[in-house]
Structure 1
């Protein structure tokens, strides 16, 4: 019996070639070429976020060290640090001041064909470098700031730069999606909270439909987060605090704490806005420098009186309250941190309010627990609730706040209490101001950016860009 001769190797090669042709279509090739620069930007963001975090920790520990050894140095070093941090921003990148999130929001709004050249004022690499220098200088001198908002602005600047460097014929994503995904990747790498980064984009950065940018955001968050984890390991920002998640009547206590902390956060945001408006009265550089020095001197007095818990990000305070809670928290720590946050932010230097708001909420929640004689086993839950609520009162992103705290602590048993507290804090904060703190600042940055003179582009603008990666 004879068989028809059959060449298996040739058949397999033919099938492979045929299959590859079906899979690697022009659309797939375009999607891969579109995605590659964003994946590269996500890796860069992960490395930069880790490097920034390590420099930030070094600066905070250094400020603790000199404050422990020579508290009187605060009256010299703190005003000097405030002045240097402000001067660097004023001289080289005024848009680097403050948190960075309002700048990203304004950049997203301006990333259209008519105004996209102006986004460089808000999100250039020079702004990113100045952001790092100014925030580290302020922290070295005892400022009360965080790095999460700055990391988001730095990440968006990286994504914008890489998006602009692509060759003219390269299939490109829109400038708007570059900034959106940059912001998400920055938050994910800063906090090791990928879900928080995604929710933050949807809730805070943009009102676009998720389908427009889902693949870009998801891939950027995953790659930036994995890059940070490859260096730091699969860490939790706040560890594994013991939490007993009650229901029933205890939810009334949760609700009361959420309302009080949400109200405090909203009032803090109003105080920052009022200080910002008052600061605008100082028109000359000399008058502005005087304001900065006054802020630095007041901050020096707080640092001298309170010690190292009155300066820095506040993360050590959160860890102490969640894992030790030794009853050593003085009653004046919350107003001192409140004032320190306001003085540091209103100085005009770079620095965020995410981490500091979480620490302020934790201190306030602990104080309320002690005032209400809450049993020790229930305090951790209420401290987490107060962190979510205070942050929500400031930034008006209840789901982002709840998901961030959830991912920082891995306490999934408390998810409903955290979500409930965020919603209640949002409701009470809306009674104080219907707009978020970031929204107010975004409009200010939009006006400031539109007033800038824009240099004509060195080359012709790109041709039309595809809007998304979604099918």
Structure 2
């Protein structure tokens, strides 16, 4: 009887460890995809419930929305700390931290559960928030929990979970990969690239199996005509980029706080401030006849498919409603609302070009404002292209995204997610030990 040599044992351990790592990434991708589908279905139900209520009782939002904002911030501060906002800054911060407990304070199963509950609460009370950013933090949290079986791979797992979250939320696998490279890591990691792609594929296939194949904003084959229509590219790029930079700067300034009496009052009474933001968002909703409540997904999809212009005030009111929702401190993403604001900007710009294809210019507005907010131009044009299955607009969207990125930096020097991530890193990092006296 022959016994395996030490060399064979070592080879078996290496192969076993490799397959274990791959299994972890694949299993995590499936779990993230399933969580994204569940959140998507529940989010649609929450928005429908709120829409049904305000269609019967128009002014109910003046009570329900402020109360919902206040309750969401109260629960966040009491039970689910670090679940506020979109969740993408927390995922970025967790990836850069090295302390295990510090990471767990930003991405954990408890936070993932809280993120789902509170994002749904926000949509149920009419907040202008999205579910896609929260899906990123949920994905990172699921991967972090699974990563306990492979501690050395946790930074890569968090990155994979975030990328898989984007892929599953929008049904855009390529955008998920690009988001992971450009926004989450700002670099390409060859050691984990194939595993990240595997997680994205697993999440995407899970989403497809449960929801079927679809394009997020429907299919749009419209392109720009030759001639003057192409002037819409720099117009949308500059206007969308400046507006996106302004939004980001407001969020960063509010997160950093103010030293004046108003800033101290906001910090001391966060629940009361959230209620005021909720009231402001409700007023925006009433002024728009209900168009700016929720993600804005239905309004934009209908406009793209029908070729009907959005209201001239839609972009401004959606911008304001999203700003109030985002600075309130409640959990909720800015992906879908930002795309909706951009669609409104594009609709307004299209009115300047007689006979121009409305859907094409709306896409330019969407990519421009989104690129201005996140300052990730490649992610912006890839995600808009995949969401609309419009390959005729690839070059115009790329150009608009680059112009918007440059314009945004005139107003805000750093992308909103990385700027906010620095605050989470500072707060989550363990305090240095004092030297003995």
Same structural fold, with TM-score higher than 0.5 when normalized by the shorter chain: yes
Structure 1 residue 179, shift from structure 2 partner:
0.5
Select the residue among 9, 13, 33 that pairs with 1:46: 33
- Structure 2 unmatched runs, 5+: 1-7
Counterpart check, 1:176 vs 2:155: yes
User: What does residue 16 of structure 1 align with?
Assistant: none
User: What does residue 343 of structure 1 align with?
Assistant: 324
Counterpart check, 1:32 vs 2:19: yes
Structure 1 residue 67, shift from structure 2 partner:
1.0
After superposition, residues 246-395 of structure 1 pair within 5 angstroms as 246=225, 250-276=229-255, 277-278=257-258, 280-282=263-265, 287-327=269-309, 329-370=310-351, 372-376=352-356, 378-395=357-374
Aligned partners of 2:290, 2:132: CA distance in 1, in Å? Answer: 21
Select the residue among 118, 133, 136 that pairs with 2:117: 133
Structure 1 residue 449, shift from structure 2 partner:
1.1
Conserved? CA contact 1:34–1:172, under 8 Å: no
Conserved? CA contact 1:67–1:307, under 8 Å: no
Aligned partners of 1:225, 1:160: CA distance in 2, in Å? Answer: 19
Aligned partners of 1:207, 1:437: CA distance in 2, in Å? Answer: 14
Conserved? CA contact 1:188–1:221, under 8 Å: yes
Structure 1 residue 210, shift from structure 2 partner:
2.9
Find the structure with the greater CA-based Rg: 1
Aligned partners of 1:148, 1:280: CA distance in 2, in Å? Answer: 30
User: What does residue 203 of structure 1 align with?
Assistant: 182
Q: Deviations over 1:272-303 (max 9, x none)?
A: 22333257523665x22221111112222222
Counterpart check, 1:157 vs 2:141: yes
Aligned partners of 1:46, 1:453: CA distance in 2, in Å? Answer: 39
User: What does residue 95 of structure 2 align with?
Assistant: 108
Instruction: Give the secondary structure class of the aligned counterpart of 1:298.
Output: helix
Select the residue among 164, 170, 173 that pairs with 1:185: 164
Conserved? CA contact 2:61–2:125, under 8 Å: yes
User: What does residue 4 of structure 2 align with?
Assistant: none
After superposition, residues 73-92 of structure 1 pair within 5 angstroms as 73-92=60-79
Conserved? CA contact 2:315–2:343, under 8 Å: no
Structure 1 residue 118, shift from structure 2 partner:
0.8
Question: Structure 1: which 4+ aligned runs deviate by more than 6 Å?
Answer: none
Structure 1 residue 426, shift from structure 2 partner:
0.7
Aligned partners of 1:415, 1:173: CA distance in 2, in Å? Answer: 39
Conserved? CA contact 1:68–1:307, under 8 Å: no
Aligned partners of 1:410, 1:205: CA distance in 2, in Å? Answer: 24
TM-score (norm 1): 0.85
- Mark the CA change 1:220 to 1:280 in structure 2 (over 3 Å): closer, same or farther: farther
User: What does residue 69 of structure 1 align with?
Assistant: 56
Conserved? CA contact 2:292–2:318, under 8 Å: yes
Aligned partners of 1:206, 1:234: CA distance in 2, in Å? Answer: 29
Aligned partners of 2:354, 2:208: CA distance in 1, in Å? Answer: 37
Q: Deviations over 1:393-440 (max 9, x none)?
A: 000010101000111111111111111111111111112222111121
Counterpart check, 1:148 vs 2:132: yes
Q: Deviations over 1:204-248 (max 9, x none)?
A: 111343312211111000000000000100111011123124456
- Mark the CA change 1:283 to 1:415 in structure 2 (over 3 Å): closer, same or farther: closer
User: What does residue 442 of structure 1 align with?
Assistant: 421
User: What does residue 11 of structure 1 align with?
Assistant: none
- Mark the CA change 1:173 to 1:374 in structure 2 (over 3 Å): closer, same or farther: farther
TM-score (norm 2): 0.91
Bigger Cα displacement from structure 2, 133-142 vs 271-280: 271-280
Aligned partners of 1:63, 1:446: CA distance in 2, in Å? Answer: 36
Conserved? CA contact 2:221–2:392, under 8 Å: no
Conserved? CA contact 1:150–1:350, under 8 Å: yes
Q: Deviations over 1:177-218 (max 9, x none)?
A: 011111111110000000001101111111343312211111
Aligned partners of 1:440, 1:207: CA distance in 2, in Å? Answer: 14
